[in-house]
Amino acid sequence: MTTALPLELDLLALAKAVPDLRREVRRYLGVPCADVQLCVTELVGNVVLHVGEGTPVRVRVARTDGCGGAGRIRVEVTDPDPRALPVLLCATADDESGRGLALLDAVAVRWGVEQGAAGKTVWCEVGNLR
């Protein structure tokens, strides 16, 4: 059950759009939220890299209720390519890329992918902000 209206933004996945997106997430949550901002950055960045720059995406950020009042922040990024699935890599010290999902995995309580015929949604949940 969601406790407040979610932030929902339709935009083009462009590297130059990420700073404004991060600010909008911070404004929506109203508190410092580096982990949530990191997740949004990595998920949109993956669309830019693996689906293509300029791909239309929907970004959704919502506070959710949990058991005993332990809520979470859910981040979802939906894109139109059902085939380009995220893969958690084990980057070596010399690799110049491949750490994005590892960072997301480190800060998120859980994450996953929901596939549909017309696209996919990559989501994660971060512990509630205090």
Task: State the CB neighbour count (10 A cutoff) for residue 71.
Answer: 19
What count of other Cβ atoms lies within 10 Å of the Cβ of residue 30? 8
Domains and CATH numbers, the chain: 7-127 (3.30.565.10)
Using CB atoms within 10 A of its CB, is residue 101 exposed (0-12), middle (13-18) or buried (19+)?
buried
DSSP H or E stretch at residue 46 = helix 34-50
SS3 category, 29: helix
Listed as ranges, residues in the chain with pLDDT below 70 are: 1-3, 66-70, 87-99, 130
Identify the three-state secondary structure at position 114: strand
CB of 74 within 8 A of CB of 84?
no
pTM across the whole model: 0.87
Q: 99 is written with which tokens?
A: 């750490």
Per-residue model confidence (pLDDT) at position 1? 45
